[in-house]
Each structure stands twice: as structure tokens, then as C-alpha cells.
Amino acid sequence: MDAVDLDRRAAALTVLSRLLLTAPSADVVAALRDPERLADWPTPEGAQEGLELLAASREDDEAIRIDHQRLFGGAGRAKANPFESVHRSREGLKFEAETLQVRAAYRELGLQAPRLNKEPDDHIGLELEFVAAAYLRAVELLDAGESAQDVLAVADRFIRDHLVQWAPNLFRMVVEGAETDFYRGVGYLGGALMEQLRAE
């Protein structure tokens, strides 16, 4: 990938990260319903259904906020639990070995989760944000005429050892569990991006 591809992919990962960490504002929803805004999405073939669902979604902000809570947690049980350790640990609990492995990977680039020791580091939104940060660091290095090989190796290892081990299933759960076209579209976009990452 060149700097332009890395930048586009970082932007897509950042968008997904924010939509998974918190329910979007009205301005974000409006922007994502604009097909021109997502014209540069890095997986146009596999993500077409997601892009169409976002553009066609007509739910109001409250319905989208409630769908976010139902999907990723809040008052009740999450339909698509956003923590890697819940999906991959034997006991299905948060703050398991996977959480510490993710924390160690973040440290390789001098990063840490924003609420360290208060919330698990292995939330899907944080994991996507980490890969986006690695890609952006690689872009900076390439723009400066330096090698980005080490940074990209960290990102590739994290994708292989963490993201593609569980996130494709999570995004299937989002598609199946969403009650809004908006979050169903997000699920398709995330699934397409994970398939691209898995294939590389």
C-alpha cells in the first residue's frame, strides 16, 4: 500500500471506530448518509450494501442511539459484545489475557487505551483506532522519505493476531442484531473491511 491507500484506510477505520465507541451525533449521521462523503471508502465492492443502507437509512437520532446501546452494551446485554476477550477467552469475560495482549501491542507504538485500567483495552473501536494510528504514522514516515516497514509490521501482526480472529464475527452479529438500517450498514462496512484485511 502506498501513502494514499494507507490514508484512505486509516480514515475508514477511524469512522468505524467512532461509530462503535459511541452513538453518532446528528451531524455525523447526516454526513454518512451522503453518498459523496463515502465515495472514497476503501472497499467499494464488498461494502456496497453497507454504503447503500447508510444512504437510505431514515431512522432518527434517538433510534440510532438506542440501537447502539442494544448492540454494544448499556443497560442490558449486548447483542454484539464489543470486547475481544469476551469473544476469544475460554470464560467469555472482559479483562482476560486478550486484553493484556492488546495493551502490549498498543505499547509497541507508544499508545495506550484512553481509560486504562477502568475499561478494557480490547474494545473493537479502540482496536480499529490503533490500526488507524499505525497507518497514519506510516503515512508520516513515507511522506518524510523514511521506511514505514516496522510500523506496518506492528499493524499487520495486530490485524493477524487480533482483529481478523474475532471482528468478522462481531460485524456479522451487528448486521444480524441491528434494528436500524444505519447500524446494519455499519456492520456491512466493517465486515467488508475485515475481509479485505484478512485477504492481505
Contact residues for 158 (Cβ-Cβ < 8 A; gap 6+): 105, 127, 130, 131, 134
Worst-scoring range by mean pLDDT, 17-21, 169-173, 178-182, 195-199?
Answer: 195-199
Q: Which amino acid is it at 56?
A: A
The separation between CA 102 and the C-alpha centre of its own chain, rounded to angstroms, equals 14
* Exposed e or buried b per residue across 183-194, where buried means at least 16 C-beta atoms within 10 angstroms of its C-beta: bbbbbbbbbbbb
Cβ-based neighbours of 126, under 8 Å, separated by 6 or more: 17, 21, 102, 113, 114
**pLDDT level of residue 1 (50, 70, 90 thresholds):** confident
Instruction: Report the pLDDT value the prediction gives residue 103, as an integer from 0 to 100.
Output: 77
Q: What is the pLDDT of residue 113?
A: 65
Alpha carbons 175 and 87: distance in angstroms, whole number: 17
Distances (CA, A) of 152 to 24, 42, 138, 166, 168: 29, 18, 7, 21, 21
**pLDDT of 168 higher than 80:** yes
pLDDT tens per residue across span 87-136: 887 775 565 667 677 777 788 888 766 665 556 788 999 999 999 999 99
pTM: 0.90
Fold of 3-199: TorD-like (1.10.3480)
Contact yes or no for 195/46 (Cβ under 8 A):
yes
Angle value at C-alpha 129, between 125 and 133, nearest 5 degrees:
175
- Whole-number average pLDDT of the chain: 88
Q: Which three cell numbers stand for residue 73?
A: 452494551
Report in angstroms the alpha-carbon separations of 184 from 25, 35, 72.
17, 16, 13
Question: Phi and psi (nearest 5°) for 26?
Answer: -60, -35
CA–CA dist 187, 168 (Å, integer)? 9
Residue 28 has pLDDT above 60, yes or no: yes
